[in-house]
Structure 1
Amino acid sequence: MQHETTPRDTKAAIHRAALELFSGQGYEKTSLREIAEQVGITKASLYYHYSSKQELLRAIIGTFIEDVRSVMAGSDELEWSPESQRELLGGYADVIIKHRTTGPTLTRDIGAVIAALDEDLGDLIATSRRFQLWLAGPNPTLADRLRAAAAIECLGAALSITPDDDVPESEIRNTLLEAALAVLASRTPPTN
């Protein structure tokens, strides 16, 4: 019995091929024809699923952005405590690790990513700012807010560890979460 390919399988194959090509040669240098060829479909078949390269990029990064936004929005519902801070940072780390194959595309072609986000960008920035402010704790100083931003950046380092690096996800998570929490907890006395 021959296995039939479903539209969902084809979309997943398109996403994988696009991510590989976008990461390897860049968004601008990748054509829809190349993506279709790598998947083994015609360009017309690819257009059945996505009307443009930008729509394809938006679909690829859309799940990542929604997952990040969902974790960050959790800060709107939780009262700050060290436990809830750790919980949300852990959730953020999990999202970054889950989507780390998207990382090279996000960082390599930031202009294309920003264009693909379009009207969602303002909301994402506002949600991110609320999340950082919440992470900084009650009545945060400027230093607290900067530490919160740095903690988030620590977790973003997961994007530099690709699945090909063969590092267990639990090790990535634990190491980066520990680093982020250490950044948040660091306090240095003021210098004169």
Structure 2
Amino acid sequence: MQHATSSRDTKAEIHRAAVHLFSTQGYDKTSLREIAEQVGITKASLYYHYSSKQELLRAIVGTFLDDMFQILKLPETLPWSPENERLVLRAYVDVVVAHRSTGPTLLRDIAAVLAAFGDDLDALIAQSRRFQLWLAGPDPSPADRLRAGAAVETVGAAMSAGADLPVTDDELRLVLLDAAGAVLARRGLPVGE
């Protein structure tokens, strides 16, 4: 006897519904019942996939954080050069763009994310600092280090501003690379010039 298989990807549907609801009404104000209703499943079915709302948040945001951590480690394997800088910056932007629907969740409910990830975020922040130091280039001045940090933050700020805009991933990627590159292009210049 053959069993019919469903082409439905319930976990992906749960993720999409949760990201939408977390982004629009907040993590704390979203119930698992609302997520289940949006997907068209029972709350019991949702519990089959995720035992709690925090576990669901970890699944959604965790993929982004795992991917970001891998990108932030890239400079450990590459010497700094203009070519490697472009390669690493492009990989960083690619991860941000690939997870563009997760961004509003991170920004809106940072307290929930901190509670769900704790030590993982501490490691990510430390890795991000090393990433920014690498982006600052060889023998960076304090201003160059600030510019490298600003370039990374520019990607995040532009991403949050463009998260809901009707632009393609390719358009978004080009704008983010251009913005970060413009900040880094000032590296080595005295402050105020």
2:23 and 2:122 map into 1 onto residues whose CA distance is 25
CA contact (8 A) 1:68 1:92 kept: yes
> Which residue number corresponds to residue 190 of structure 2?
189
Q: Following superposition of structure 1 onto structure 2, how do residues 85-164 of structure 1 map, counting pairs within 5 Å?
A: 85-156=85-156, 157-162=158-163
Q: What residue is the counterpart of 1:57 in the other structure?
A: 57
The equivalent residue for 1:41 is 41
What is the aligned counterpart of 2:6 among 4, 11, 21? Answer: 4
Q: Bigger CA drift: 169-178 or 44-53?
A: 169-178
Equivalent-residue separation in structure 2 for 1:117 and 1:24 (angstroms): 22
Match of 1:165, SS state, is: coil
Calculate percent identity across the aligned residue pairs.
62
1:15 aligned residue: 15
Residue 23 of structure 2 aligns with an amino acid whose one-letter code is S
Taking the aligned partners of 1:190 and 1:134, their CA distance within structure 2 comes to: 20
- Spell out structure 1 runs of 4+ moving beyond 4 A: none
Find the aligned partners of 1:122 and 1:189 in 2 and give their Cα distance: 32
In 1, distance between residues paired with 2:24 and 2:140? 41
* Aligned residues of 2:32 and 2:43 also touching (Cα < 8 A): yes
Query: Partners of 1:5 and 1:50 in 2: how far apart?
Result: 20
CA distance in 1, matches of 2:94, 2:105: 19
Cα distance in 2 for partners of 1:11, 1:172 equals 27
Deviations 1:1-54 (A, max 9, x none): x76255xx1110110110111011000000111111111111111111111101
Given that residues 132 and 148 in structure 2 are in contact (C-alpha distance below 8 angstroms), is that contact kept between their aligned partners in structure 1? yes
Cα distance, 1:190 vs. partner?
Answer: 4.9
Structure 1: tracts of 5 or more residues without a match: none
Aligned CA RMSD, in angstroms, stands at: 1.8
- TM-superposed deviation, 1:107: 0.4
For residues 26 and 128 of structure 1, the distance between their equivalents in structure 2, rounded to whole angstroms, comes to: 26
Listed one character per residue, the Cα deviations across residues 118-166 of structure 1 (whole Å, up to 9, x for unaligned) are 221121111111101110111111111110010011211123323x532
Q: How many matched pairs?
A: 188
Give the whole-Å Cα distance in 2 for the aligned partners of 1:129 and 1:141. 15
Letter in 2 for 1:55: E
* TM-score, normalised via structure 2 length: 0.91
Pick closer, same or farther for the CA change 1:190–1:147 going to 2, 3 Å: closer
Cα deviation, residue 69, structure 1 = 0.9
- Cα separation, 2, equivalents of 1:94 and 1:145: 23
Distance of 1:30 and 1:171 partners within structure 2:
32
CA distance 1:19–1:116, change in 2 (3 Å): same
Equivalent AA in structure 1 for residue 64 of structure 2: F
Q: Structure 2: state its 5+ residue gaps.
A: none
The one-letter code sitting in structure 2 at the alignment partner of 1:110 is I
